[in-house]
Amino acid sequence: MSRQVLYLAKAVASATEDCETYTPANGKSVRVISMHSEAAFSANSAVKIVWDYSGTPVVLWAAKGSGSLPLAITEDFPAMVGDGTKKIAVCLDNGETGTIFMSGHVILEVGD
């Protein structure tokens, strides 16, 4: 098992989504260990964890504002196994009309 960290912190322009991605190798399992977000609360913006970001995206968790993902919630996530193309991402999604500073920090466990 190894750990992979996704971290993104920046001022996100209005109506923009910025993401940091990781592509697990074929056959490698991926498990979310933790996720922390920092942002001003907004009904139209979120820090998200997304599986298969470039294919058929599945939002695993979205935090409106600052927060932490409870570890127990990750047990309900679908099984994630890399195929060399599917990506897992932390995304800063600003749906507001102005720029917002946001950050997302995700720790992944990558296995065989």
Query: 């997302």: which residue's tokens?
Result: 104
What's the confidence (pLDDT) of residue 72? Answer: 74
pLDDT at 40: 87
Residue ranges of the chain whose pLDDT lies below 50: none
Q: Where are the domains of the chain?
A: 2-110
Non-local CB neighbours of 87 within 8 Å, separated by 6+ positions: 21, 22, 23, 52, 53, 54
Q: What is the pLDDT of residue 48?
A: 95
Q: What is the pLDDT of residue 23?
A: 97
* Residue-by-residue DSSP string for 6-20: EEEEEEEPTTEEEEE
Question: Distance between CA atoms of 66 and 27, rounded to whole angstroms?
Answer: 33
pTM score of the predicted model? 0.92
Closest CA to 35 of 81, 82, 73: 73
Domain topology for 2-110 = Jelly Rolls (2.60.120)
